[in-house]
Structure 1
Amino acid sequence: MAGRGSSPSSRRPTGRRDGRSTPRTTSRPTTAPVVAAAPGGSGTKFTTRALILLGVAVMLIASYTASVHAWWQQRSEIAALEAQNRQTSAEIEQLEDQQRRWSDPAYIRQQARERFGWVMPGEIGYRVIGVDGELKGQSSRLEEPEVAPRRPWVERLWGSVEAAGTPEQESAPQGDPELETDE
């Protein structure tokens, strides 16, 4: 048995069957970030793949942020318009109710009594006047007339400039200067 396997050429290589040997030390490609020592301490150096991934993530966040902002703004506009619709509907209902009341002759008579102090034929109306001359009790005054809206200050200013350029017209006719005497 000493003849077998004693020479180095007769030994079978450990590894593959075809006779080729495999190297014992293999280097594997790595995808982990490369760590380099910084002069002031230890720091990490990002690979280009990590930087690209970070850039894509930032772009996605930016695009989603813009979309979420637009969605939020539209939701607030929708809520404001819905509130305006509810308010307008309430005003419409109130005006329709007022229109129905004014169609009723009894309501018209009641308003005439309250506002103007009118009485029906055969009734006697009384009004109590205070020491100051004002009516006591329910007021029989008409509602205040609506005041015309004031013009903007620019229009009023321009109107005064135009008025300054025209001569004043006297409202009272003057008499003949020859007939007037100084007494």
Structure 2
Amino acid sequence: MAVKDRDRFSTATRIRLIGEQTAARVYRSQTRRQDRRSRLTGRAALLAMVLCSLVVALAYPVRQYVAQRAEVADLRTQQRETRQRVEDLRDLKARWQDDAYAEQQIRLRLHYVMPGETGFVVVDPGAARPSRGGLGAGARPWYRNIWDGVDKADAAGRP
């Protein structure tokens, strides 16, 4: 038995035992790592699948939300512009309620003159388009166009 005891405590035997124990630990560690890896891979795949499902499920509602927000912004801009237009029209209506403004516009647009005044129409020769009767219809006063229309209708009715 002395040989066995000596064998048991020899350096070579101890190194061999340490090597075997280390190999066993490494093997167990690798096995555990592989088990963890396989579990993590399965978990990761499940997590990825859940995330993809969420992305697919939320893509359409998010797109609708963004589109509706853009539409709301457009409608607010349109509302602001419409309110401004209403204010401008109210101002114009208030101006037309003033007799002096109405008289000014009537004189300007319809070429009216007050009794005792002499009316003149200044025409830019380069701007007027000549027609058969001289000035173009847009450059003449409105009443001239009416009378020309009456004259033409009267001439067409005669044999």
Bin for the TM-score computed over the shorter chain: 0.5 to 0.7
Higher strand share: 1
Is 2:47 the partner of 1:53?
Answer: yes
RMSD (Å), alpha carbons: 3.8
C-alpha separation in 1, matches of 2:75 and 2:67: 12
Offset at residue 70 of structure 1 (A): 2.1
Question: What is the number of residues matched between the two proteins?
Answer: 113
Matches within 5 A, 1:1-183: 25=24, 27=28, 29-30=32-33, 31-33=36-38, 47-127=41-121, 132-134=133-135, 139-141=140-142
2:127 aligns to what?
none
| Greater share of helix | 2
Identity, in percent, stands at 33
Shift of 1:60: 2.0
Q: Distance in 1 between matches of 2:43 and 2:122?
A: 96
Show structure 1 runs of 5+ residues with no match.
1-5, 7-23, 35-45, 143-183
CA distance in 1, matches of 2:69, 2:140: 49
Unaligned runs of 5+ in 2: 6-20, 124-129, 144-159
TM-score by length of 2: 0.54
Deviation track 1:38-79 (CA, whole Å, cap 9, x = no partner) reads xxxxxxxx9433321111110122234334312211111111
Moved over 6 A (4+): 128-131, 135-138
What amino acid is the match of 1:50? A
Separation in structure 1 between the aligned mates of residue 72 and residue 108 of structure 2, nearest angstrom: 44
Alignment partners' CA distance in 1, 2:65 and 2:137 = 60
| Structure-2 change in CA distance of 1:99 and 1:86 (3 Å) | same
Query: Could you say what secondary structure the match of 2:134 adopts?
Result: coil
TM-score (norm 1): 0.48
Q: Which secondary structure does the structure 1 equivalent of 2:37 belong to? A: coil
